[in-house]
Amino acid sequence: MKTGKTQGYVLTFRCINCGKHEVFAKYPTDGFEPEDQIRGRLYQVSCESCGWSGATCGLSAIRISHAKELKAKAAGHGLGL
Ligand SMILES: [Zn+2]
């Protein structure tokens, strides 16, 4: 069933440059994915704090959460006021 929303998983990483937990990877998927499959992937990520970007493995994620709606733009890109 299509809802028009993109759901999926959001992974949080610790930035290897500034040390903050401001690095996020989004993995859109319609269904359920086992956590070890999500962790087994490589993600292209960038830090919202210092701007560092690179590839990181899901194994180093400090948190994985499921999101009903993934935003196309990362938070912190402006408040949209
Ligand atoms: Zn950083």
- Report the separation in Å between the CA atom of 44 and the middle of ligand 1, taken as the mean of its atom positions: 14
Per-residue pLDDT averaged across 21-40, rounded? Answer: 94
3-state secondary structure the chain: CCCCCCCEEEEEECCCCCCCCCEEEEEECCCCCCHHHHHCCEEEEEECCCCCEEEEEHHHCCEEEEECCCCCCCCCCCCCC
The pLDDT assigned to 12 comes to 97
| Residue extents of the structural domains in the chain | 8-67
Q: What is the pLDDT of residue 36?
A: 95
Ligand 1 centroid to 53 CA: how many Å? 8
| Confidence band of 6 (pLDDT split at 50, 70, 90) | confident
pLDDT at 22 (0 to 100)? 97
pLDDT band at 3 (very low <50, low <70, confident <90, very high): low
**For residue 10, how far is its CA from the centre of ligand 1 (angstroms)?**
17
